[in-house]
């Protein structure tokens, strides 16, 4: 059966933006991943966001005309998003205050993944063992971030078999399963169960036609929307709850 591929990258990024907004708004309305039906369903839909972002980091790295600019752009927005993320959810900027999870946004693991891909594909001055050492340090540096090291590993795995969506999904599911196991025992059982929602991304990405779309501004809209919507969530958080942490 031939499936009509109707989504270009702009449509998929818009889906990711909508899912992300719903997910973070649910964090605001129902802090701490409660087990009530409403937040469960909303967070389930929100799980679409991360795998779509991972998929397009792979596509972006492959198609970019200037890898260094692409890497720099992600790095800049990772820094901007760090402050927006901490403000949005009431997380202290002091790394020694609070827990070890969710200390910065998912933009940091995305940036780290691109740095590693750059090292692996473009840096020829380093020996193999040097690359392994540097890449290992970089991967573990993403541990305190949203989606932790798993986001980095998922992107690296998906990029290694880029062009084969089914195998990419298998790689992604493996790493998310690892994340779910850790989350179940050390973070939140409800959150671990909600990660099943990432399976919804396969039929969505199956509709991707490989085209960019006419709206070239969508790329910049996503970069700007991410920190901006977190700032708005932070303002509402302070007005409703006071300056408290609503993150896990």
The predicted structure's pLDDT at residue 197? 95
Q: How far apart are CA 192 and CA 235, in angstroms?
A: 28
For 84, how many CA atoms within 13 A lie in the half-sphere containing its CB? 22
Which pLDDT score is estimated for 112? 98
**In whole angstroms, what is the distance from residue 173 CA to residue 177 CA?**
6
Domains of the chain, residue spans: 9-88+101-241
Distances in Å between the Cα of 45 and the Cα atoms of 15, 102, 106, 195, 243 are 10, 20, 17, 10, 28
Other CB atoms within 10 A of residue 200 CB: 15
In this predicted structure, the answer to whether residue 196 has a pLDDT above a threshold of 90 is: yes
Res 1 pLDDT > 60: no
> How high does pLDDT run on average in the chain?
93
The predicted-structure confidence for 39-94, as pLDDT tens digits, reads as follows 999 999 999 999 999 999 999 999 999 999 999 999 999 999 999 999 999 999 87
CA distances from 220 to 77, 87, 204, 216 (A): 11, 22, 22, 8
């Amino acid at each position: 059966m031939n499936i009509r591929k109707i989504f270009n990258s702009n449509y998929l990024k818009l889906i990711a933006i909508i899912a992300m907004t719903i997910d973070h708004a649910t964090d605001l309305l129902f802090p701490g991943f409660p087990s009530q039906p409403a937040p469960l369903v909303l967070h389930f839909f929100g799980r679409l966001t991360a795998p779509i972002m991972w998929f397009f980091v792979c596509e972006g790295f492959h198609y970019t005309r200037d890898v260094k600019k692409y890497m720099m752009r992600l790095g800049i927005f990772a820094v901007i998003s760090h402050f927006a993320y901490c403000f949005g959810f009431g997380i202290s900027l002091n790394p020694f205050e609070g827990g070890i999870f969710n200390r910065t946004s998912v933009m940091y693991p995305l940036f780290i993944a691109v740095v590693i891909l750059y090292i692996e594909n473009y840096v020829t001055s380093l020996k193999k063992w040097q690359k392994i050492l540097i890449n290992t340090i970089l991967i573990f540096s993403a541990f305190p971030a949203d989606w932790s090291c798993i986001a980095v590993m998922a992107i690296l795995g998906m990029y290694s078999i880029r062009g084969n969506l089914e195998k990419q999904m298998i790689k992604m599911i493996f790493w998310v399963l690892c994340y779910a196991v850790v989350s179940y025992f050390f973070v939140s059982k409800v959150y671990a169960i909600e990660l099943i929602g990432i399976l919804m991304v396969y039929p969505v990405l199956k509709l991707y036609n490989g085209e960019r779309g006419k709206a070239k501004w969508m790329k910049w809209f996503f970069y700007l929307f991410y920190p901006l919507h977190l700032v708005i969530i932070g303002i509402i958080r302070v007005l409703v709850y006071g300056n408290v942490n609503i993150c896990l």
